[in-house]
Amino acid sequence: MFTGIIEGRGKVLRQQTSGGGKVLCLEADFDLTDPQEGESIAVNGVCLTARDIEGNRFMVDVSPESLSRTSLGALQAGSLVNLERALRLSDRLGGHMVSGHVDALGLVEERSAAGDFTLFTFSLPESLVKYVIEKGSVAINGISLTVNSCGGELFTVSIIPHTLAVTNLGELKPGDKVNIEVDIIGKYVEKMLMGKSGPTDTDSKINSAFLAEHGFLK
């Protein structure tokens, strides 16, 4: 589990295909204190297992499934990625709950300046539209962001100068692909409201009709 608060960036030193997937060698621009072989590290928002850790360098294996759903397949030597180590129970939850399981690829539609801030408009698959709400949370390349506005298959976020400086968002331009993970809470709520999870569902008085009657649903 992650928070979407990026610790720093990493550089791809080399990459190679392996068994239908990829192996990446990465170097972080921050200290990997108390490294643990096999620990989870989010790379551009994708939860991966770190191995062969030496100093700030480590290797990760990217499965065919991850390559098909994310932008990791396009990484080359020299590419910059966002890095976040897994959340500890004693850490501050500064962003939101990010699983590191990317839902789909999104597309940068627009980029513009608004004073010291940068506005990005992204498009996402129609199937994910229902999980993105105004002032809700979304993870883009592993970064926890607040949705400014949304409509149809588009949504907009505002990036502060600090985030632009310490992540790879500064390199994005219209047409670039990004990894999108929607807020996991919305997906769990939807699953429970479907009422098809188990035999106890028929005993519950809380269903979509109940919520609509009491003003929780329209």
**Number of domains, the chain:** 2
User: In this structure, are 130 and 90 located in the same domain?
Assistant: yes
Residue 186 to residues 78, 133, 136, 181, 192: CA-CA distances in angstroms?
A: 36, 10, 10, 11, 10
pLDDT in tens, 113-166: 999 999 999 999 999 999 999 999 999 999 999 999 999 999 999 999 999 999
Residue range(s) defining the domain that contains residue 192? 184-218
Residue 24 pLDDT exceeds 60: yes
The C-alpha atoms of residue 158 and residue 145 are separated, in whole angstroms, by 8
User: In this structure, are 97 and 149 located in the same domain?
Assistant: yes
Q: What is the pTM of this model?
A: 0.86
For residues 204 and 135, which has the higher predicted lDDT (pLDDT)?
135
User: In this structure, are 178 and 196 located in the same domain?
Assistant: no
Residue 38 pLDDT exceeds 60: yes
CATH code of the domain containing 19: 2.40.30.20
The C-alpha atoms of residue 13 and residue 35 are separated, in whole angstroms, by 19
User: In this structure, are 214 and 174 located in the same domain?
Assistant: no
User: In this structure, are 70 and 112 located in the same domain?
Assistant: yes
User: In this structure, are 197 and 156 located in the same domain?
Assistant: no
Long-range contacts of 68-72 (CB under 8 A, 24+ apart): 69/102, 69/103, 69/104, 69/105, 70/44, 70/45, 70/46, 70/102, 70/105, 70/179, 71/44, 71/105, 71/141, 71/177, 71/178, 71/179, 72/22, 72/24, 72/43, 72/44, 72/46
Beta bridge partners of 60: 24, 50
**pLDDT computed for residue 199 by the predictor:** 47
User: In this structure, are 208 and 104 located in the same domain?
Assistant: no
User: In this structure, are 171 and 205 located in the same domain?
Assistant: no
Name the percent of the chain in helix, strand, coil, to the closest 5: 20, 40, 40
**pLDDT computed for residue 210 by the predictor:** 74
**pLDDT computed for residue 204 by the predictor:** 62
Q: Amino acid letter at 211?
A: L
Q: How is residue 135 written in tokens?
A: 């002032």
User: In this structure, are 196 and 165 located in the same domain?
Assistant: no
Residue 201 pLDDT exceeds 60: no
Helix, strand or coil, per DSSP, at residue 15: strand
For residues 10 and 189, which has the higher predicted lDDT (pLDDT)?
10
User: In this structure, are 175 and 191 located in the same domain?
Assistant: no
Task: Compute the Cα dihedral for 208, 211, 217, 218 and give only its sign.
Answer: positive
User: In this structure, are 188 and 163 located in the same domain?
Assistant: no
User: In this structure, are 124 and 114 located in the same domain?
Assistant: yes
Percent of the chain with pLDDT strictly greater than 70: 92
